[in-house]
Structure 1
Amino acid sequence: MTMCAPLDARRVVAVTALAGQRPVGLVVGSFFSVSLDPAQVGFCVGISSTSWPLVRAAPCFAVNVLAAGQQDVAAALSRPGAAKFAGVAWRASDGVPVIDDALACLECTLVAEHSAGDHRIVVAGVRRARVLRRADPLVFHQRRFATVAGAGHGAGDGTGGGDEVRLHRR
Structure 2
Amino acid sequence: MTAASSEAEVLDMIPIAAAVITSGTAAEPAGFTGSVWGEPRNPGWLAVPVSAESSTLPIAEATGRVGVNVLGAHGRPLVAAFTKRVERSAQRFCGVEWTFRDGVPVLNDGIAWFACALDAVVPFGTYRMMMCRIEHSEIRSRHSPLVWVNGRGVPAGEPTTEALR
Q: TM class by shorter-chain length?
A: 0.7 to 0.9
Q: What value does the CA root-mean-square deviation take over the aligned residues?
A: 1.8
> What's the counterpart of residue 56 of structure 1?
61
Summarize the alignment of residues 1-170 of structure 1 with structure 2, pairs less than 5 Å apart. Answer: 2-19=8-25, 21-28=27-34, 30-34=35-39, 36-81=41-86, 82=88, 83-149=91-157
Contact 1:101 1:133 in 2 (8 A): no
Give a deviation string over 1:19-74, Cα, whole Å, max 9, x none.
Answer: 3512211112x411235133111011111212221233224221110111111111
Q: Secondary structure at the match of 1:5?
A: helix
Q: How many Å apart are 1:6 and its aligned residue?
A: 4.4
Residue deviations 1:110-137 (CA, integer Å, cap 9, x gap)? 1111112101011100011111111011
2:24–2:60: 8 Å Cα contact kept in structure 1? Answer: yes
**Alpha-carbon deviation of 1:90?**
0.7
Question: Number of matched residues?
Answer: 149
Partner secondary structure for residue 67 of structure 1: coil
Q: Deviations over 1:51-106 (max 9, x none)?
A: 22123322422111011111111111112222111111111222221101211111
The code of the aligned residue for 2:129 comes to: I
Aligned-residue sequence identity (percent) comes to 25
| TM norm structure 2 | 0.82
Distance 1:14 1:113 in 2: 18
CA contact (8 A) 1:25 1:52 kept: no
How far does the alpha carbon of each residue in 1:124-165 deviate from its partner, in whole angstroms, 9 at most, with x for none? 000111111110111111111111247xxxxxxxxxxxxxxx
The 2-side partners of 1:27 and 1:80 are apart by 11
The SS at the match of 2:82 is: helix
Counterpart position of 1:158? none
SS of residue in 1 equivalent to 2:36 = strand
124-133 or 36-45: bigger deviation = 36-45
Greater helix proportion: 2
Instruction: Provide the secondary structure at the position in 2 that maps to 1:78.
Output: coil
Question: Where do 5+ consecutive residues of structure 2 fail to align?
Answer: 1-6, 159-165
